[in-house]
Structure 1
Amino acid sequence: MIVQGNDPATQASFALGNRLARALWGLVWLLLFRPSPRPAHAWRSTLLRAFGARLGRHVHVYPGVRIWAPWQLEIGDRVGVGDGATLYNMGPLRIGSGAVISQGAHLCGGTHDIDSPNFQLVARPIDIGEHAWVCAEAFVGPGVRLAPGCVLGARSVLMRSVDEAWTVWAGHPAVRVRQRRRGAVQ
């Protein structure tokens, strides 16, 4: 998908097929996804599935969510993704069942190799565990895995994987704040 060894100043970073698919998705997002009524979750799920997203049941993706590549998206059951969230999924993005991605959160699966001569574009997967919560305006970086039940506090920045389930993280950079009680979520 990503062109290797190109000159990003004069050449595209993605193959033509990928660029065309994203252009078509952008048009569908603009004309059919974004203006849809807030309660029209089934309609937006249908559009996402038409572009290759793998979605569970009772997925609520709100109309203001920006999704870079639906075909790189997998969402479990009973998941909410709030308005203004950005799913910049250059690589695979998985959101586990029962998870919440709050408004304005930014999940960023792309970066650059700062040591390569051409500043090579790199895509990394993101994995948000079941029952995790990425709070309002939090940032999750490329290659990050957030363990099941974790909470990433509002406006926090997480650039490394968290493997300790049911913990609360906050800050810039995010640090462990405390353990989360499991009884609240089944």
Structure 2
Amino acid sequence: MSRIVKAVHGLGTPPQDLNFEIEFSAYLKEKYDRPYITELYGRFINGFSDFDALMRRAIWRALASKFGHGVKIEPGVYFKYPETFEIGDNVFIGTGAFLQGRFDGKCVIGNNVWIGPHSFLDARDLIIEEYVGWGPGARILGSSHTAMPINIPIIKTDLEIKPVRIEAWADIGTGAIILPGVVIGNNSIIGAGSVVIKDIEPFSVAAGVPARLIKLRNKETTDGNKMQ
């Protein structure tokens, strides 16, 4: 029998990080270059102690373009080109997630986003807006090979990078795959294991391979009356 319990993430006001932690990140950024700070991250990447978590957060703050308060980075989180990332407040990044940026790209992760364990984000041109839930093992692909010309191996052909946008309040199911160039509309739900190959309109429920519209969600006010 199912039961309803209160949500955990995104409720209340996230704590403000302590001044000494922010100052330590600033010291790292001023004192050392990015390769050294990235190497330092490797010493704390898999630890479960509070100190390991603090160091992961401090190092991310030193490397990222922008880094908010109350961010939780679980053990085993990997990244590339963190200087291209803007991370909001109260973001959770689960164990084993991999965020792959690009030296000339940009990734924005908004406030109160929850990224599940073992997720993969091809974050070369990616915006995830506020209060998005990203299911464990879900993936974003932001690029593909042009496959032209045909007389060379496909892996040698140019990459075409397309922006991916996940709008506010959307929920992406476990193991879903979002393909390059896709926009997931606000308040939409993507079913577990779905492969999304085209834009999904706001307030949609979509699922399948490829993902198709299942239904539209009712837009309701807090008193239960449908919006006009």
The TM-score normalised by the length of structure 1 is 0.74
**Would you say 1:67 and 2:107 are equivalent positions?**
no
Deviation sequence 1:3-55 (CA, Å, 0-9, x none): xxxxxxxxxxxxxxxxxx89x85x5665433x143987765454444132211
**Aligned mate of 2:114, from 80, 90, 96:** 80
SS of the residue 1:173 aligns to: coil
| Deviation for aligned residue 1:68 | 1.0
| Deviation for aligned residue 1:150 | 0.9
The alpha-carbon distance between structure 1 residues 38 and 124, as it changes in their structure 2 partners (threshold 3 A), is farther
SS of the residue 2:214 aligns to: strand
Matched residue, 1:96: 129
**Aligned mate of 1:120, from 155, 158, 180:** 158
Count of residues in correspondence between the two structures = 160
In 2, Cα distance between equivalents of 1:111 and 1:73: 18
Structure 1: unaligned runs, 5 residues or longer: 1-20
**Would you say 1:37 and 2:48 are equivalent positions?**
yes
Matched residue, 1:5: none
Contact 2:44 2:55 in 1 (8 A): no
Q: Higher Cα Rg: structure 1 or 2?
A: 2
Contact 2:41 2:55 in 1 (8 A): no
The alpha-carbon distance between structure 1 residues 46 and 95, as it changes in their structure 2 partners (threshold 3 A), is farther
| Deviation for aligned residue 1:114 | 2.1
In 2, Cα distance between equivalents of 1:106 and 1:68: 11
In 1, Cα distance between equivalents of 2:170 and 2:136: 15
Q: Which amino acid in 2 is paired with 1:60?
A: F
Contact 2:139 2:175 in 1 (8 A): yes
**Aligned mate of 1:165, from 184, 202, 219:** 202
**Aligned mate of 1:133, from 163, 167, 171:** 171
- Percent identical across equivalent pairs? 22
